[in-house]
Amino acid sequence: MLLREKCPILQFADLGDERGKLVVIEGGQEIPFEIQRVFYIYESDSTVIRGQHANKESEFVLINVAGQSKVRVTDGTEEFVVELNKPMMGVYIPRMIWKDMYSFSPDSVLLVLASTHYDGGEYIRNYNDYLDIMSGVK
Ligand code: TYD
């Protein structure tokens, strides 16, 4: 499967009306997992690169609910960049995909939905280790 198919862009329905916009995301429905954790990243400078890890267990959906940022995903072979710039779109990131988040706008609020509670032990933070695992060396 191509990396773009493993990490699909999700378009959420707009339930807005004349009073304003409304986007609903329910675990197991608009996204393919039950949500165990929510966190959000804001006031990251445009020069900062966040993420820089892969997760052995966690799946994520990233949504810029305000402003914009970019996410680079790779499986060690292919890579692509998603520009998150609409509250109605997200990107699904399955297990064992390396991700970098960067180019945060000053008003960026990057919402992350996760399939697990936090466990620092499931993070791979060294890119060479990641490549070794993906190529079967480790
Ligand atoms: P980090 O993984 O570096 O954030 P990002 O991937 O967004 O760049 O996390 C920064 C710190 O926050 C680190 O000490 C771990 C802690 N943290 C938690 O305690 N729980 C969480 O759910 C997350 C995402 C991070």
Looking at residue 40, its pLDDT comes to 98
Report whether residue 41 contacts ligand 1, using a CB cutoff of 6 Å.
yes
Looking at residue 81, its pLDDT comes to 98
State the distance from the centre of ligand 1 to the C-alpha of 50, rounded, in angstroms.
10
For the domain that residue 75 is a member of, what is the CATH number? 2.60.120.10
What type of residue is 98? W
Catalytic member of 50, 53, 72, 86:
53
Could you tell me the pTM of the whole model?
0.96
Give the span between the Cα atoms of 89 and 67, in whole angstroms: 12
- Tally of domains within the chain: 1
Residues of the chain with confidence (pLDDT) below 50 = none
Give the span between the Cα atoms of 12 and 115, in whole angstroms: 18
Atom of ligand 1 nearest to the CA of 117: 22
Residue 104's domain comprises 3-134
